[in-house]
């Protein structure tokens, strides 16, 4: 049990370190203008955050398993090797199930009245073909859900760098946007809104 106790302590300390990295990088991504955001680029923070997230799961499993072993060792009914194997098997199955469920792809968030831009058919309004012509650094439009956004002015100030936007100019960026951004980011995006697929261009908002 001394070895298990040591594993419990070491894995606990590593969990604390990883949790701090997750917190710091998360804050840096959320607010690039903050003190933490100024210490690292958005891309660096995102990569570190992703790596820490991958490390957190196995560390949590090791830490929790060590704690479970110590707790079971104090229960007379689980002191036999067979009982311990059964208990650990159940615990491992539960953890594996949770991890697998978290890996199931989630559908992109939908909003009231939205239409999938990839399936839009229009007459007399903005079309995907017209939107696709705006695919350069000096004229960059993207589609998110069924909305069209002129993000040209955002290219040089985007926390994720120019390339993060440039490669999606003139395309439907719905999937990647919701994969990489939060609800707050979606609300900020609305300031770049210029129209909706199938409807006339909103010239008052066209930047």
Written as one string, the DSSP assignment of 78-113 is G-SHHHHHHHHHHHHHHHHHHHHHHHSPPPPP--TT
Round to whole Å and give the CA distance between 34 and 106: 30
Residue 134 vs residues 114, 116, 128, 141, 171: alpha-carbon distances, Å: 22, 20, 10, 5, 9
Q: Is the overall model pTM greater than 0.95, yes or no?
A: no
**pLDDT tens per residue across span 77-122:** 776 778 878 888 898 898 888 878 877 655 544 433 333 433 333 4
pLDDT given at position 206: 54
175 band by pLDDT with thresholds 50, 70 and 90: confident
**pLDDT tens per residue across span 60-79:** 989 998 888 888 888 877 76
165 band by pLDDT with thresholds 50, 70 and 90: very high
Mean pLDDT of the chain, nearest integer: 80
Round to whole Å and give the CA distance between 189 and 205: 13
Dump strand ranges (E) for 47-192.
135-136, 139-144, 147-150
pLDDT given at position 1: 73
């Amino acid at each position: 049990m001394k070895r298990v106790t040591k594993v419990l302590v070491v894995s606990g300390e590593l969990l604390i370190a990883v949790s701090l990295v997750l917190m710091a990088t998360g804050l840096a991504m959320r607010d690039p203008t903050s003190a933490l955001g100024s210490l690292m680029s958005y891309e660096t923070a995102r990569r570190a955050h992703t790596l820490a997230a991958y490390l957190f799961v196995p560390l949590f499993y090791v830490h929790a398993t060590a704690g479970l072993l110590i707790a079971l060792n104090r229960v007379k009914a689980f002191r036999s090797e067979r009982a311990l194997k059964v208990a650990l098997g159940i615990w491992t199955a539960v953890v594996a199930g949770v991890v697998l469920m978290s890996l199931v792809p989630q559908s992109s968030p939908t909003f009231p009245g939205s239409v999938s831009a990839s399936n839009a058919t229009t007459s007399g309004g903005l079309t995907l073909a017209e939107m696709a012509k705006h695919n350069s650094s000096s004229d960059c439009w993207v589609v998110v859900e069924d909305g069209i956004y002129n993000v040209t002015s955002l290219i040089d100030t985007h926390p994720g760098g120019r390339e993060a936007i440039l490669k999606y100019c003139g395309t439907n960026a719905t999937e990647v946007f919701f994969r990489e951004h939060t609800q707050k980011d979606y609300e900020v995006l609305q300031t770049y809104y210029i129209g909706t697929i199938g409807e006339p261009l909103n010239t008052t908002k066209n930047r």
